[in-house]
């Protein structure tokens, strides 16, 4: 795919280049030395993961802006879940302040993106959680979005959240293993946000063409175990 603008170059390299090298039974981890291996991984079944769970295209074109401060009024959104999401959202940042990347756990393109990020973040600047997990839903609510909105990648920090192309740019800035990625992340804002998000939406709305999986594959063989956020044990409200 040839990029015709800086915006397209960023999003193509950061999304379409996330080759979907995963299958329903394993999570292929590509090492920094260019080699690859397939490891057995604990597979967490996702609620309603048959087809495109949690209304995958809900708000794909009309979701809230690309950046959002943590929401203070989530009472109208809380009815979507039956667990103490506020406790989960607080707990995941209690001892570990690293930002969390929320990704679509049933999308092969998105799972490939996790491999891409692991390859290019050797210092472990980011953690990961699927949008369909309780942690993902809790952080979506904390960000002022519906728990069922998995239309966009989300980067959640202790203070704010980033969506769509803003999230991609912020993530690119934190990739230390490839000097081109921080440069792209720094220069990306030159392109108007609405143009960046148009390209992002095209990729996101067609991501299931790269395949789907009924399970979210997580790597728990201790090499990347601390990079994936497990759902904490929180009782219902």
Residue 188 in this model has a pLDDT that exceeds 50: yes
pLDDT band for position 123 (cuts 50, 70, 90): very high
Q: Residue 145 falls within a domain, yes or no?
A: yes
How high is the pLDDT of residue 224? Answer: 80
More confident residue, 30 or 223: 223
Separation between Cα atoms, residue 151 and residue 204, nearest integer Å: 7
Structural domain tally of the chain? 1
How high is the pLDDT of residue 78? Answer: 75
Q: Residue 31 falls within a domain, yes or no?
A: yes
How high is the pLDDT of residue 49? Answer: 37
How high is the pLDDT of residue 225? Answer: 81
131-145 residue pLDDT tens: 999 999 999 999 999
Burial per residue of 37-73, b for 16 or more beta-carbon CB atoms within 10 angstroms, e otherwise: eeeebebbebeebeebbbebeeebeebbebbbebeee
How high is the pLDDT of residue 104? Answer: 85
4-8 long-range contacts, CB within 8 A, separation 24+: 5/191, 5/195, 6/184, 6/187, 6/188, 6/190, 6/191, 7/165, 7/188, 7/191, 7/195, 7/196, 7/199, 8/199
pLDDT band for position 45 (cuts 50, 70, 90): very low
More confident residue, 158 or 201: 158
Q: Residue 73 falls within a domain, yes or no?
A: no
Q: Residue 219 falls within a domain, yes or no?
A: yes
Expressed as residue numbers, the domain containing 185 is: 6-60+80-226
66-118 residue pLDDT tens: 566 665 556 667 788 989 999 999 999 999 999 999 998 776 666 777 888 98
Q: Residue 198 falls within a domain, yes or no?
A: yes
Residue 7 in this model has a pLDDT that exceeds 50: no
Q: Residue 34 falls within a domain, yes or no?
A: yes
């Amino acid at each position: 795919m040839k990029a015709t603008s800086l915006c397209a170059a960023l999003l193509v390299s950061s999304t379409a280049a996330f080759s979907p090298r995963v299958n329903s039974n394993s999570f292929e981890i590509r090492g920094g030395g260019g080699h690859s291996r397939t490891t057995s991984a604990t597979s967490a079944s996702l609620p309603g993961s048959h087809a495109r769970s949690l209304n995958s295209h809900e708000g794909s074109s009309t979701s809230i802006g690309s950046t959002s401060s943590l929401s203070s009024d989530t009472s109208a959104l809380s009815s979507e879940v039956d667990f103490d999401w506020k406790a989960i959202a607080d707990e995941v940042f209690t001892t570990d302040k690293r930002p969390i990347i929320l990704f679509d756990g049933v999308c092969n393109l998105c799972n490939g993106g996790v491999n891409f990020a692991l390859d290019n973040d050797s210092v472990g600047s980011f953690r990961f959680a699927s949008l369909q997990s309780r942690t993902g839903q809790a952080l979506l609510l904390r960000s002022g979005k519906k728990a069922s909105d998995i239309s966009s990648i989300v980067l959640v920090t202790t203070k704010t959240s980033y969506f769509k192309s803003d999230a991609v740019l912020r993530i690119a800035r934190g990739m230390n293993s490839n000097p081109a990625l921080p440069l792209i992340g720094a220069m990306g804002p030159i392109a108007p946000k609405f143009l960046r998000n148009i390209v992002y939406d095209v990729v996101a709305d067609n991501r299931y063409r790269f395949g789907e999986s009924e399970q979210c594959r997580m790597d728990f063989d201790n090499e990347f175990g601390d990079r994936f956020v497990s759902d904490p044990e929180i009782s219902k409200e």
